[in-house]
């Protein structure tokens, strides 16, 4: 991911803002400019639910560049209470603590550091409700 793209995404990453299609109601995170369902370009910003449940998940042992020191970590598809499905990292738990349907909530965490530049990325991860 290039730095300029990261900076453009900062507002939504900090506030868990997605976009909602005015035409069909589908919501997206990260926000999109064009609806994948109906092709409409009328999308508006919406504040997304900060709680949801795990739809599916996987433990990552062979990560993309920049994530090597975090393995193993858990990546999941979470369906928020407003129906938005997002791909996110699950934090503060062991793989055997979660299953399909586990309730999770959003927490703001460091996502990764870039080795040479020292840039630290922050964003949302999700954590099981205990």
Identify any residues that bridge with 104 across adjacent strands, giving them in sequence order. Answer: 52, 128
Q: Which is nearer to Zn ion, 39 or 115 (CB)?
A: 39
Q: Please choose, out of 7-15, 31-39, 48-56, 78-86, the segment that lies near Zn ion by the rule CB under 5 A.
A: 31-39
Site residues (CB under 5 A) for Zn ion, limited to 48-67? none
Task: Determine if 37 is a binding residue for Zn ion (CB under 5 A).
Answer: yes
Q: Tell me if 91 contacts Zn ion by CB under 5 A.
A: no
Touching Zn ion, residues 6-25 (CB under 5 A): 21, 23-24
Kindly state the greatest CA–CA separation across the chain. 44
Q: Are 8 and 24 in contact (CB under 8 A)?
A: no
Q: What is the DSSP string of 52-100?
A: EEEEEEEEESSPPTT-GGG-SEEEEEEEETTS-EEEEEE-SS-GGG--T
Distance CA 106, CA 39 (A): 29
Shortest distance, position 26 Cβ to Zn ion, whole Å? 5
Compute CA 126 distance to the chain's CA centroid, rounded to the nearest angstrom. Answer: 8
Q: Pick from 19, 27, 31, 35: which binds Zn ion (CB under 5 A)?
A: 35
38 near Zn ion, judged by CB under 5 A = yes
Q: Which residues contact Zn ion by CB under 5 A?
A: 21, 23-24, 26, 35, 37-38, 40
């Amino acid at each position: 991911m290039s730095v300029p793209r990261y900076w453009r995404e900062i507002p939504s990453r900090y506030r868990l803002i997605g976009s909602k299609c005015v035409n069909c109601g589908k919501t997206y995170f990260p926000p999109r400019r064009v609806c994948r369902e109906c092709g409409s370009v009328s999308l508006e910003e919406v504040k997304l639910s900060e709680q949801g449940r795990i739809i599916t998940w996987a433990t990552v042992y062979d990560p993309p560049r920049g994530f090597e020191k975090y393995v193993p970590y858990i990546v999941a598809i979470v369906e928020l209470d407003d129906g938005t499905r997002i791909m996110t990292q699950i934090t503060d738990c062991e793989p055997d603590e979660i299953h399909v349907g586990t309730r999770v909530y959003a927490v703001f965490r460091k996502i990764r550091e870039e080795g040479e530049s020292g840039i630290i990325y922050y964003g949302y991860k999700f954590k099981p409700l205990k």
